[in-house]
Amino acid sequence: MEVSYKWLKEFIELPESPEEVGKLLTGTGLEVEAIDKIGPSGEPTQANGLEGVVIGEVLSCTKHPDADKLSLTTVDVGTGQPLPIVCGAPNVAAGQKVVVALVGATLHPTSGEPFQIKKAKIRGAVSEGMICAEDEIGLGTSHAGIIVLDPNTPAAQLPNGTPADQYFDVSPDYRISIGLTPNRIDAASHLGVARDLRAVLSRPLRWNSPDAFSVQNHDLTLDVRVDDTVACPRYTGLTISGLTVRESPDWLKQRLLSIGLNPINNIVDITNFVCHDLGQPLHAFDADKIAGGQVIVKTLPEGTPFVTLDGVERKLTATDLMICDAGKPMCIAGVFGGQFSGVTAQTTRIFLESAYFSPMSVRKTAQHHGLKTDASFRFERGTDPNMPVTALKRAALLIQEVAGSLNDQGTQHPGVISSDITDLYPAPVAPFRVPVRYRNVDRLIGIKIEYAEIHRILEALDIQVEGQTNDGFVAVVPPYRVDVTREADVIEEILRIYGLDNVPLSTNLSADSLSEFPKIDPDQWQSRVGQLMAANGFHEILTLSLTRPAYHDAIRASLPGTDVTLLNPLSEELSVMRQTLLFSSLETLVYNLNRRQKDLKLFEFGKVYHKTVTDSGTTKYVERMRLSVALTGNQQAESWLQKSQPVSFHDLSTAVQRILNLFRIRSFETQPADPNLFQYGLTYVVNKKPMVSLGLIKGKLTKLVDLKQPVFYADFDWSALIKAAGSKVRYQEVSRFPDVRRDLSLVLDKEITFEQISRLAYQTERKLLRSINTFDVFDGEQLGIGKKSYSVSFVLQDPAQTLTDATIDKTMQRLMSTFEKELGAVIRK
């Protein structure tokens, strides 16, 4: 739901900034999701008003000698020297009060990019400014002609040169987006939001029921009847005559645009305005289209056809509540109007409806027909049954003001209220009476709040306190608070206004009130990793802990200790406990390859064993859990859709990265993997301890098990992985400002790694550098002996503003200088 900051200030004094108001509303349970600065057109903007745009007067206007559609004008803008301005608008004329953009002003049009006004020559004529249309300054969408100010308004009497924002009152507004929960339909209006602010700020509302309402005559009295009082407990209406349907005044259009609604015409716009102002939907019917002078609220037979405002014919159900005249349906009650009974440009008399419909009835009808409107959104959650007459009067007064008839001289006469208010309310909805005990307030909130403060909060929320005793009271809840029907609901109201932040954290919690946080469970993590790997096409294996001594002899220099030898081995081949999962994985691969299963993706959780001799000469046996991942063959089976591709280091790296992401391990350093095991590869180091080594297994090791396919293998230290798990997740708002990519080609010594380039780049530029990536590596004789070329991309972004070319160039120059100085790089253009 959207509310306007300026609109809110009509209900309550708000010296607080929009951001402060947002925090207050979020604290009361109306979570503010976004606050956008908006211009007069309702679109988000960074501009402040209409700088450089003033009120001017056209002193002279003649045709351009060299252009039929251009006029040469002189305009007084209050500087003492009239400005020559070339104007292409067909409606420009001498004597008009107009809106003028001076040279140097930057305009923010309704659509398109901002542009600056410059002194120019147009067909040989000097032009020192621009006479503006409404779309050119963001005040609307019309480009039919320039804005001509009404000379009869007091604002038009302002002296020439007056800033235009004083005339239009277009100081920036702020659109506050509230994530309205279904239970808080009472806050689906500016009045509803202001009620919460009144309670939390202890300030009075400025709004009162309209008391200037009066009936001028009874020339258009209709017969109103409600046949289904269950679906329509209350129905009110009146008639207004002497109207002219036209475009709404600027103030009304801007109010609707500020919350994202498009203006339609003055009468429909008033009904939309009051809906978002007071939370009460209304509907206006063309009174001359109401047959028989009757308005009947009833249901119709199953299957009755009805054409709605969108031109779609719908088949009614027997439970759809309809607003009908003597012969036909006119509107689906509380949901959508009909095509043939609404207000048009020819309408001069209306019947204005304001009702309270059953939430169940409206919800059932809206869901059946798939219609979601502002009216149905409110009715199906429960509107205020005491609001219809108040909203009806407010809308009637506004329609009288903005939609009165015009005579031949263009003078407006107010509309005429031509009937008494019809108010059919046979069974008034009673308020909820909820007994509340003070001890339950203290128990549920956790602290003791003074009784006077409890009563103040409730009364500020329109909840009356009656029958007070030492033990409690009765809360009399108005029927518009459909979510407050139990004692716990009343206590929640007290707490959300008192402020959850004002409830201190307890320092006296006992073991039976707060359990200890569970320790990290390795078995649960093992299950999660297993599910992750299986979901990505891997198969889990389980192998023996016994292995051949010859395997260990081949990699003796890389083993952490000496072998644990069995005292009574079953065979010489299985006489030691394994110190690595590598050969268990390789043997499994061979077993499957011999059975024509060539594309394999395996993982294993298993323990490894070794022994060491301590300084004191005692033997220490070590048992550790490891996780291994092995890939060989193709990425996927061959198909008509794509050719088979052999697995690569990047496929293994992706699998490893998925596991690290599961453990929320985001940062690590890299170093070359053990050359005794890997032909090439990397070791990821976290907190100065190796976490995982991955790469292509050396050919001499695969030959030991008679394996002829390349194998990519990763070996995790499971204990280190578990220890690093559970780091906090930090959330950051996505930047609204674009990032920028710049590429460099660096010629470097072969020994220099990308890791060194990356680390040096982040050390040099900590604020703007978001990511760095290498997209090409070239090694050729033309580079020189011992040289290679990295093609590297740098992504820059400032979270607070759009980067300028000067800032980008300065940052890249600093990076290039660092690479040249620290790495001896040659920058290739």
Residue ranges for the known binding site are 483, 489, 492-493
Angle between helices 754-764 and 805-823 (to 10 degrees): 130
Residue 517 has pLDDT above 60, yes or no: no
Per-residue pLDDT, averaged over 216-230, amounts to: 96
Q: 680-720 pLDDT, tens per residue? A: 999 999 888 899 999 999 999 999 999 999 999 999 999 99
Predicted local confidence at residue 512, as pLDDT: 47
What is d(CA 740, CA 134) in angstroms, rounded to the nearest whole number?
35
Predicted local confidence at residue 692, as pLDDT: 95
Q: Count Cβ atoms below 10 Å from residue 501 Cβ, excluding itself.
A: 7
Per-residue pLDDT, averaged over 570-581, amounts to: 88
User: Residue type at 276?
Assistant: H
Cβ pair 555, 565 in contact under 8 A: no
What is d(CA 525, CA 506) in angstroms, rounded to the nearest whole number?
32
Of the CA atoms within 13 Å of residue 662, those in its CB half-sphere come to: 18
**pLDDT band at 408; cut points 50, 70, 90:** low
Task: Please tell me the total number of residues recorded for the chain in this structure.
Answer: 829
Q: 632-678 pLDDT, tens per residue? A: 999 887 777 778 889 999 999 999 999 999 988 877 888 899 999 99
All residues at 6 or more sequence positions from 245 whose CB lies less than 8 Å from its CB, including other chains = 265, 266, 267, 343, 344, 345, 346, 347, 403
Cβ pair 84, 72 in contact under 8 A: yes
Predicted local confidence at residue 114, as pLDDT: 85
Q: 21-62 pLDDT, tens per residue? A: 999 999 999 999 999 988 777 777 765 567 899 999 999 999
**What whole-number percentage of the chain has pLDDT above 90?**
72
Query: Partners of 694 in the beta sheet?
Result: 682, 714
What is d(CA 437, CA 451) in angstroms, rounded to the nearest whole number?
11
Residue 161 has pLDDT above 70, yes or no: yes
Residue 433 has which token pair?
Answer: 């009476």
Per-residue pLDDT, averaged over 115-124, amounts to: 92
Residue ranges for the known binding site for Mg(2+) are 483, 489, 492-493
User: Residue type at 580?
Assistant: T
Dihedral-angle region of residue 306 (phi above 0 means left; psi in -120 to 50 means alpha; beta otherwise) = beta
Residue 248 has which token pair?
Answer: 């709404």
Predicted local confidence at residue 508, as pLDDT: 53
Domains in the chain, ordered, with CATH? Answer: 2-44+173-201 (3.30.56.10), 53-168 (2.40.50.140), 223-424 (3.50.40.10), 452-502 (3.30.56.10), 522-724 (3.30.930.10), 740-828 (3.30.70.380)
Predicted local confidence at residue 407, as pLDDT: 72
Per-residue pLDDT, averaged over 602-622, amounts to: 91
Q: 721-774 pLDDT, tens per residue? A: 988 875 566 667 788 889 999 999 999 998 888 888 988 998 999 889 988 998
Of the CA atoms within 13 Å of residue 619, those in its CB half-sphere come to: 7
Predicted local confidence at residue 511, as pLDDT: 45
What is d(CA 29, CA 23) in angstroms, rounded to the nearest whole number?
10
What is d(CA 629, CA 602) in angstroms, rounded to the nearest whole number?
6
Tell me the DSSP string of 180-247. Answer: --GGGGGGSSHHHHHHHHHHHHT----------------SS--EEEES-TTT-SEEEEEEEESB---P
Q: How far is CA 544 from CA 560, 571, 587, 602, 803, in A?
A: 20, 14, 11, 15, 59
**pLDDT band at 135; cut points 50, 70, 90:** confident
Residue 315 has pLDDT above 90, yes or no: yes
Per-residue pLDDT, averaged over 137-143, amounts to: 80
Residue 347 has pLDDT above 50, yes or no: yes
Per-residue pLDDT, averaged over 480-506, amounts to: 91
**pLDDT band at 175; cut points 50, 70, 90:** very high
What is d(CA 679, CA 701) in angstroms, rounded to the nearest whole number?
10
All residues at 6 or more sequence positions from 550 whose CB lies less than 8 Å from its CB, including other chains = 704
Angle between helices 190-201 and 266-278 (to 10 degrees): 30
What is d(CA 798, CA 795) in angstroms, rounded to the nearest whole number?
10
Q: 288-314 pLDDT, tens per residue? A: 999 999 999 999 999 999 999 999 999
Predicted local confidence at residue 155, as pLDDT: 59
The mean predicted confidence, pLDDT, of the chain is 90
What is d(CA 269, CA 256) in angstroms, rounded to the nearest whole number?
8
Output DSSP code: residue 392.
H
Predicted local confidence at residue 395, as pLDDT: 96
Predicted local confidence at residue 24, as pLDDT: 95
Q: How far is CA 446 from CA 437, 484, 495, 500, 509, in A?
A: 14, 20, 10, 11, 12
**pLDDT band at 359; cut points 50, 70, 90:** very high
Residue 513 has pLDDT above 90, yes or no: no
User: Residue type at 689?
Assistant: K
